[in-house]
Amino acid sequence: MKNILVVGAGGQIGSELVPFLRNTYGVNNVVAADIDESKCKNLSDGPFEKLDATDGKTFAEIVKKHKIDAIYNMVALLSATGEKNPELAWKINMGALENSLNIAKENKCAVFTPSSIGAFGPTTPMDNTPQDTIMQPNTIYGVCKVSGELLSNYYYERFGVDTRSVRFPGIISNVTLPGGGTTDYAVEIYYEAIKQQKYTSNLDKGTFLDMMYMPDAIKACADLMEADPAKLKHRNSFNITAMSFDPEIIGDEIRKHIPEFKLSYDVDPVKQAIANSWPNSMDDSCAREEWGWNPKYNLAEMTIDMLEKIQEKHDKGLI
Ligand code: SER
């Protein structure tokens, strides 16, 4: 039986990853940890530990106490928030990773840490971005992600730590809101479509970015960690994507269900510059070949599910 620790359990991905893992490995075998207990109320069915992931001592104590075999390090300040406070972004993003790797090395744990489309930069080929290519990001978030990929590969090669990761695109979900990412518009647009039948996008029309629905993102984490290591030619990190669109395309898809939906633009220059430096669409064939990556949701299917779930929340007065 595996004992798993999810650090950053109250975040956008962690809050849905924990229930999935508890369902797969058993409620008591998946420990949720977060600096903010109030964000983890929906995870109270199983073990919880309050943890600042940059505090290596407490982190190590929790790993020993629960005899952890695998750490999912889901801690990160996202790209736009990172630009507001680069020192803090480096401290948190790299601090959590450094502790995860060192504690994994000491306690023989596997480590999953998400990388991102943010690991790419303006000199990266923008269309069908290859798995192995130029990575010169110009955001602190991206600098952390590339550093994290290299450090994770180093720990695998030098110390044999079983590190694995994916480069996530924008993740779209209806449970926990993302905080301060460049791709957040693609989540907000669904909430505003239900609440007000209109949305003002802070990214311009023609801004294509890779995206993915949360159920596919969660499955990617779990599938990669279960993959046969003999088949992995890459480790940190795999390109994965499910769809690529711009605000006009997602607006048109929403209009198929809410014909009166109106989309306008008020471009945020910081977010736009970040989005312009990221790929339009990634080539994820290595993930497909090496561990069977195969997303279930396209834009049309995701839109139906998002609108249905958010409508339910709205009807209950939750949003
Ligand atoms: N969703 C993230 C962001 O926009 C990218 O990984 O910052």
Does residue 236 have its Cβ closer than 6 Å to ligand 1? no
* Ligand 1 site, residue 168, Cβ cutoff 6 A: yes
pLDDT, position 179: 84
Chain segment 122-160, per-residue pLDDT in tens: 999 999 999 999 999 999 999 999 999 999 999 999 999
Q: Mean pLDDT for the chain?
A: 97
- Ligand 1: centre distance to CA 65 (Å): 33
The protein residue with its alpha carbon nearest to ligand 1, atom 2, reads 181
Q: Write out pLDDT tens, residues 252-286.
A: 999 999 999 999 999 999 999 999 999 999 999 99
Minimum CA distance residue for ligand 1 atom 3: 181
Contact 78 CB / ligand 1 (< 6 Å) = yes
Instruction: Compute, in angstroms, the gap from residue 92 CA to the centroid of ligand 1.
Output: 16
Confidence of residue 1 (pLDDT cuts 50, 70, 90): low
Would you say the CB of residue 278 lies under 6 angstroms from ligand 1? no
Per residue in 4-51, pLDDT (tens digit) is 999 999 999 999 999 999 999 999 999 999 999 999 999 999 999 999
What order of strands is seen across the sheet that includes strand 170-172? 170-172, 209-213, 243-245
Beta carbon of 155 within 6 Å of any ligand 1 atom: no
Instruction: Identify the CATH assignment for 4-169+212-239 out of 3.40.50.720, 3.40.228.10, 3.30.210.10, 3.40.640.10.
Output: 3.40.50.720
Identical topology for domains 4-169+212-239 and 171-211+243-280+296-315: no
Q: How far apart are the CA of 51 and the centre of ligand 1, in A? A: 23
User: Domain residue spans in the chain?
Assistant: 4-169+212-239, 171-211+243-280+296-315
As assigned by CATH, the class of the 171-211+243-280+296-315 domain is alpha beta
* Residue 182 alpha carbon, nearest atom of ligand 1: 4
Range 88-117 average pLDDT: 98
How far out from the chain centre does Cα 88 lie?
A: 19
Strands (E), the chain: 4-7, 30-34, 48-50, 70-73, 110-112, 115-116, 163-164, 166-168, 170-172, 198-201, 209-213, 238-239, 243-245, 262-265
CA of 63 to the centre of ligand 1 (A): 28
Q: Which atom of ligand 1 is nearest to the CA of 183?
A: 4
Give the residue numbers annotated as catalytic, written as ranges.
141
Regarding the beta carbon of 183 and ligand 1, being less than 6 Å apart is answered: yes
Which residues fall within 8 angstroms of residue 71, CB to CB, at 6 or more apart?
Answer: 4, 5, 7, 63, 100, 103, 104, 109, 110, 111, 112
pLDDT digits (tens, 9 = 90+) for 44-94: 999 999 999 999 999 999 999 999 999 999 999 999 999 999 999 999 999
8 A C-beta contact, residue 244 and residue 211: yes
User: Closest Cα to residue 193, out of 316, 311, 318, 312?
Assistant: 311
Residue 305: partners with Cβ closer than 8 Å, 6 or more residues away: 174, 213, 297
